[in-house]
């Protein structure tokens, strides 16, 4: 409610309808209240919102892995932080998509790998990698250990009340192996991870192999390995 404070000089304060009155240094000022904001419900708006939500979750998950964070920090050429870089990149790369399929979790110029077999029995996730090529430039005199890191997006929920997707990350134990032999990585799921995975029917898995020296300092990373598994 507006109030006339001085009927001779017309000093008015308060609000009348959507008009706000203020007195500053003896002068009257008026402003209009903003109209109530209404969320857009256009198809494009919904797509952008869904992409933004997925991008935030994915970027946070990748950025939370110290090795991936550090490789991104040294590998990106922009002035962005690793998280900002991931968010910007995923907003473009995931627009109008329902999963993170084919989205890289490492910078460019990693060494190449080829999957021989991927197995999942509900409790254990196993990756078998073919022998690394000489073009991978792995120096076994320095790079003594290998580890596989996976970012998993579980999609296609069993029921409509479940979230449309969920993210989790898995890491294998470090292994010592020759580049001439197959590399086998196994990752045990925790009870919470198993319960989460059971709610969904499809698993989009984006992984990378990290090499380490004998003191467990990360040295190199592979290009992202893409795998999709259907629950049987």
Same-domain pairing of 16 and 116: no
Same-domain pairing of 159 and 57: yes
Can you tell me whether residue 56 is helix, strand or coil? helix
Same-domain pairing of 111 and 130: yes
Q: What is the pLDDT of residue 8?
A: 44
Per the structure, the count of domains in the chain is 2
Same-domain pairing of 21 and 94: no
On whether residue 37 sits in a domain, the answer given is: no
- Helix and strand numbers (H, E) in the chain are 4, 12
Question: Tokens 């550090």 label which residue?
Answer: 70
Same-domain pairing of 20 and 70: no
Q: What is the pLDDT of residue 41?
A: 76
- Asked whether 125 and 79 are in contact (CB, 8 A), the reply is no
Q: How far is Cα 230 from Cα 200, in angstroms, rounded to an integer? A: 9
Q: How far is Cα 210 from Cα 220, in angstroms, rounded to an integer? A: 6
Q: What is the pLDDT of residue 76?
A: 83
Q: For the chain, how many residues are written?
A: 232
Q: How far is Cα 2 from Cα 11, in angstroms, rounded to an integer? A: 10
* Residues 31-57: tens digit of each pLDDT: 765 666 565 678 888 888 999 999 999
On whether residue 38 sits in a domain, the answer given is: no
Q: What is the pLDDT of residue 70?
A: 96
For the record, the structure tokens of 49 come out as: 């919102």
Q: What is the pLDDT of residue 73?
A: 93
Same-domain pairing of 14 and 97: no
Which residue range(s) make up the domain with 17?
Answer: 3-32
Q: What is the pLDDT of residue 108?
A: 85
- Asked whether 157 and 163 are in contact (CB, 8 A), the reply is yes
Q: What is the pLDDT of residue 140?
A: 86
Same-domain pairing of 100 and 162: yes
Q: What is the pLDDT of residue 97?
A: 87
Q: Low-confidence residues of the chain, pLDDT below 70?
A: 1-30, 32-40, 134-135
């Amino acid at each position: 409610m507006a109030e006339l404070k001085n009927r001779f000089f017309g000093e008015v304060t308060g609000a009348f309808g959507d008009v706000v009155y203020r007195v500053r240094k003896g002068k009257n000022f008026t402003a209009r209240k903003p109209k109530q904001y209404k969320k857009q419900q256009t198809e494009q708006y919904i797509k952008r919102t869904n992409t933004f939500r997925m991008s935030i979750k994915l970027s946070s998950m990748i950025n939370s892995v110290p090795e991936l964070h550090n490789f991104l920090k040294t590998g990106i050429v922009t002035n962005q932080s690793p998280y900002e870089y991931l968010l910007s990149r995923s907003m473009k790369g995931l627009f109008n998509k329902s999963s993170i399929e084919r989205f890289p979790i490492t910078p460019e110029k990693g060494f190449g790998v080829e999957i021989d077999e991927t197995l999942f029995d509900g409790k254990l996730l196993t990756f078998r990698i073919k022998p690394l090529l000489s073009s991978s430039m792995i120096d076994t005199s320095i790079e003594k250990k290998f580890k596989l890191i996976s970012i998993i997006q579980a999609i296609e929920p069993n029921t409509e009340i479940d979230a449309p997707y969920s993210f989790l990350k898995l890491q294998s134990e470090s292994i010592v192996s020759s580049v001439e032999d197959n590399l086998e990585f196994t990752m045990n799921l925790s009870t919470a991870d198993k319960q989460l995975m059971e709610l969904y029917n499809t698993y989009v898995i984006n992984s990378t192999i990290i090499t380490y020296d004998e003191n467990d300092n990360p040295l190199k990373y592979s290009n992202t390995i893409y795998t999709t598994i259907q629950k049987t």
